[in-house]
Structure 1
Amino acid sequence: MSTRTIRATSVAIPHLNEPGLYLSQVTSLENSRGRLAEFHYANADLRSLELTGAHLIDGRITALTTQRTHLDELRADSVEFSGCDLSSLRWSNSKLSRVAFRDCKLMGATLEDVILDNVLFENCKLDYSTLVRTRATGPVIFSRCSLREAAFSASDLGSALMNDCDLRHADFDSGTYRGLDLRGNDLSQLRGLSSLRQVIIDQAQTPQLAEALTAELDITYGEEHEST
């Protein structure tokens, strides 16, 4: 296994070029036994992708484009997604372990009741995505990702780190975020600050949080009030 480390957070990610591991080219992610191992699935353009109860192990998914994606009760272990565009993604009741998403478009995605354990999102677009009851049971890294207007609801991301991400109007609504590392981001337009108790920031980010809180509380400065 390889690792991706930012500050004190290290994520174990797939090492699919290790000696003795041969990835077979496949034309579908579906398998009659529900288990697909040591595979490479590439350059598919699908109208719809639906997988239920599948188990993906030691695989690479490259340049997959879908118009609609529904994944339910899916388990992925040591899987790498690269250059994928998964439109209208709905991913539920699943567990991802040692999974990497690189240069993927997951805009408007919904992750509901998904467990993340050693998962990396790098250079990904997750704008307008919704994470509901998503739990990080192991380290999770979002690096150089766009999370504009993403919504986190009733999630547990205490083991996660976000670095150099676009968090404009990202909303944290309830959940557990103690230990979430938010250093290296502009926090001035975050929403749902009352949920972000005991997160980790740099001292220099304090004015950014003050700006976000001012906007969230719709505070009026005295000078502005007197002039109206």
Structure 2
Amino acid sequence: MDTRTIRRTSVTLPALNEPGLYLSNVTSLEGGRGRLAEFHYADADLRDLDLADTHLIDGRITGLKAQRTRLEKLRVDSVEFTSCDLASLQWTDSKLSRAVFRDCKLMGATLKDVTLDNVLFDNCKIDYSTFTRLRAAGPVIFSKCTLRETTFTAADLGAALIDDCDLRLTEFDGGKYRGLDLRDNDLSQLRGLASLKQIVIDQAQKLQLAEALTADLDVTFGEDLDDK
């Protein structure tokens, strides 16, 4: 199987090029009896996308645009999302395994009680989003993504790696982050540093964390008072 590896973290990618696997073009993601397998769903432009109690297996979703997206109790196994724009995304009570989001826009998304296992976000825009009780049950990689003003609340990201991402005003509000690899990012504008115990960083990032902590604590410097 193909993998994506950054430092010590390896994500197993969807197995869509296996011999004998043929992806059929479909016009809807609602499969029979709540199951859709070996499919290619492309270039749909929807006002609303609502999926619940559905299992997506071995598929590609390409160029999907939706003005409002609601996904609930969705199981995703070995699926690629490429160049999708899912506005007002609400995704709850779901599990994703061997999934890839590549060049996708998920801005302002709300994910709640979603479990990730071998999931890659590559060059995605995820700004202004809220992730509540997001759990990395297996390796998860965010690579070259923008996560500006995104909030992780009570998340479990110990098996995750965030690499070369825009983390301006990204906030961590409670949760478990032991082992979260934050190397190769600018950490100077992170928020909620008290939650980030036992993360992995480089020596050079200590000054960035100090700058972030100064802002997080709303510190006043004595020199500024003396000048008044």
What is the TM-score normalised by the length of structure 2?
0.99
Does residue 199 of structure 2 align to residue 172 of structure 1? Answer: no
Does residue 79 of structure 2 align to residue 79 of structure 1? Answer: yes
Displacement, 1:32?
3.1
Aligned length: 228
User: Counterpart of 1:117?
Assistant: 117
Displacement, 1:225?
1.1
The percentage of aligned residue pairs carrying the same residue is 71
Q: Output aligned runs, 1:70-109, within 5 Å.
A: 70-109=70-109
Superposed CA offset, 1:34-68 (max 9, x none): 00000000000000000000000000000000000
CA distance in 2: counterparts of 1:22 and 1:148, whole angstroms: 38
CA distance in 2: counterparts of 1:86 and 1:213, whole angstroms: 34
Structure 1 counterpart of 2:182, one-letter code = L
User: Counterpart of 1:31?
Assistant: 31
User: Counterpart of 2:49?
Assistant: 49
Displacement, 1:227?
1.3
Structure 2 counterpart of 1:124, one-letter code = C
CA distance in 1: counterparts of 2:225 and 2:205, whole angstroms: 28
Q: Which runs of 4+ in 1 moved over 2 A?
A: none
Superposed CA offset, 1:71-92 (max 9, x none): 0000000000000000000000
Which runs of 5 or more residues in structure 1 are unaligned?
Answer: none
Displacement, 1:219?
1.1
Over the aligned positions, Cα root-mean-square deviation in angstroms equals 0.6
Which runs of 5 or more residues in structure 2 are unaligned?
Answer: none
What is the TM-score normalised by the length of structure 1?
0.99
Superposed CA offset, 1:170-190 (max 9, x none): 000000001000000000000
CA distance in 2: counterparts of 1:15 and 1:73, whole angstroms: 23
